[in-house]
Amino acid sequence: MTRRSGGLLLASWHDPVLLALALLATFLGALAIVDAGYVRSLDKSQVLVPRELAMHGVGFLVGLLGYLWVSRRSAAGLQRFALLVWLGCFILLALTKTPLGVEMNEARRWVRLGPIQVQPSEFAKVGALLYLSAVLAGRKPWHNRPIPLTPLPRWLDWVLVPKLARAAPFLWVVLAAGLIELEPDLGTAAVLVSASYLLLIAGGVSRKSLLLLFAAGLLGATLLATGKSYRMERLTSHWHRWEQANMDDVGYQTVQSEIGMALGGFVSLDAGGGRTKRMIPAPTTDFIMATIAEETGFVGATAVIGLLGAIVWRLLWLARRAPTRFGGLVLTGLAGWIGVQSCVNVCMANALIMPIGVPLPFFSSGTSSLVALWVAMGLAQAAMRPVPQKATVEVEHAAGRDRWGHGRARLSRA
């Protein structure tokens, strides 16, 4: 059953609200990219329209094709091939460490596949959430058995080995996050682990296991943050960013972002005339919110955050109405990812946390990021696809057997 909407062939279960919200966010993101990037584009190439807008358009078109294809898959099919999808994402992450990996700004976060250059970590978010949703949806409840104090082999066989086996999928995601951290990209790795952890909560993992994972994650994050000198320097200098030595060095981008957001006031009508985009080195990427807040004020920035919040709310609203447990988990996981990433980016822009290189969904320039987001929207639509009733399927098969090739019914020979 299909219908026509906006010139695109959409399924009858298609949620128009989610599609409209995503389209609006993408359109406003394009406007924000033009506004934040035209000054530097004029300085570099004497062209008014920045190159980032063209890449945003390419990302939208490719992502829309992915959206249309994925949204027409069945939830059962996605669940069946979730492991294969995740394996492909994992291999792409590993390719960043090979000669196919592309290094820019002292980081190897991209892979060149012929004429195409992709950032695997963006697609790893989608793949990990799809894979964990499939695992959690098909998992049987843990049967608590009395834990024997002795002998040790029985405890290992009854408790430790089964627990490790149940934790293996999440540990695989943590391993992928480790590959992302080595690029280095600690911010994306943190978003991936955080979204996956929220999905474990929704999936019914026991409180004891969640507390253990949280403690292990906290310890790991501490070791990663303190294990490299440049990260410790960035962390400590962030709290002293207004000192003269830091304002012109490691704290420069954050300070300029703070100034720009403060200049916006409550309501601003200075569209196109902001100073922040003239000051920071990459105004269309992670700190695009600074230009939005400066030129539209608190009201405009709140509207952007509200739009992203509406997407998260719609995903959670659909999750409660999903026809399958797998579909509900997919929708919940996507909501967690977009929500966490949006909060982290805004907190970076207003200097609540130090900059860790996390883009604002749908608004920051980045082709791979936008494609991954639109594929995620397609997954959300597929997750709401109704499960065919067995009786209906049997009737359809019977009707097919009692028809000639031209479609007219025929009489039985009996």
Tens of pLDDT, residues 179-214? 999 888 889 999 999 999 999 999 988 888 889 889
Residue 19 within any structural domain of the chain: no
Pairing of strands 2-5, 8-11: antiparallel
Main-chain dihedrals φ then ψ at residue 327, nearest 5 degrees: -60, -40
**Single-letter amino acid code for the residue at 319:** A
What's the number of domains the chain is made of? 1
- What mean pLDDT value characterizes the chain? 84
- 96 and 124 Cβ atoms separated by less than 8 Å: no
Mean pLDDT of 356-369: 93
Of the listed ranges 94-103, 145-154, 258-267, the one predicted with least confidence: 145-154
Residue 154 within any structural domain of the chain: yes
109-123, 362-376, 391-405 — most confident range: 362-376
Give residue 150's pLDDT: 55
Residue 414 within any structural domain of the chain: no
Mean pLDDT of 83-95: 94
Asked if the model's pLDDT at residue 391 lies above 50, the reply is: no
Residue 116 within any structural domain of the chain: yes
Digit-coded pLDDT (tens) for 38-68: 888 777 776 778 889 999 999 999 999 999 9
**Confidence category of residue 400, pLDDT binned at 50, 70, 90:** very low
Helical pair 51-71 and 16-45, crossing angle rounded to 10 deg = 160
Give residue 236's pLDDT: 79
Give residue 160's pLDDT: 67
Q: Which residue would you say has higher pLDDT here, 36 or 339?
A: 339
Nearest CA among 27, 31, 29 for reference residue 49: 31
Q: Which residue would you say has higher pLDDT here, 290 or 4?
A: 290
Mean pLDDT of 275-300: 90
Helix (H) or strand (E) holding 111, with range, is strand 107-113
Of the listed ranges 254-268, 296-310, 320-334, the one predicted with least confidence: 254-268
Asked if the model's pLDDT at residue 397 lies above 50, the reply is: no
CB burial of 141-178 (b: ≥16 within 10 Å; e: otherwise) equals eeeeeeeeeeeeeeeeeeeeeeeeebbebbebbbebbe
Q: State whether residue 161 is helix, strand or coil.
A: helix
Q: Which residue would you say has higher pLDDT here, 413 or 354?
A: 354
**Confidence category of residue 413, pLDDT binned at 50, 70, 90:** very low
Mean pLDDT of 71-88: 93
Tokens encoding 406: 């031209």
Helix (H) or strand (E) holding 357, with range, is none
Nearest CA among 25, 84, 109, 137 for reference residue 374: 25
Give residue 79's pLDDT: 93
Residue 52 within any structural domain of the chain: yes
Residue 186 within any structural domain of the chain: yes
Asked if the model's pLDDT at residue 143 lies above 60, the reply is: yes
Domain with 184, as residue range(s), is 24-140+147-386
CA distance 268 to 250: 29
Asked if the model's pLDDT at residue 6 lies above 90, the reply is: no
Asked if the model's pLDDT at residue 406 lies above 50, the reply is: no
Residue 6 within any structural domain of the chain: no
> How much of the chain exceeds pLDDT 90, in percent?
48
Nearest CA among 379, 333, 354, 366 for reference residue 66: 379
Residue 4 within any structural domain of the chain: no
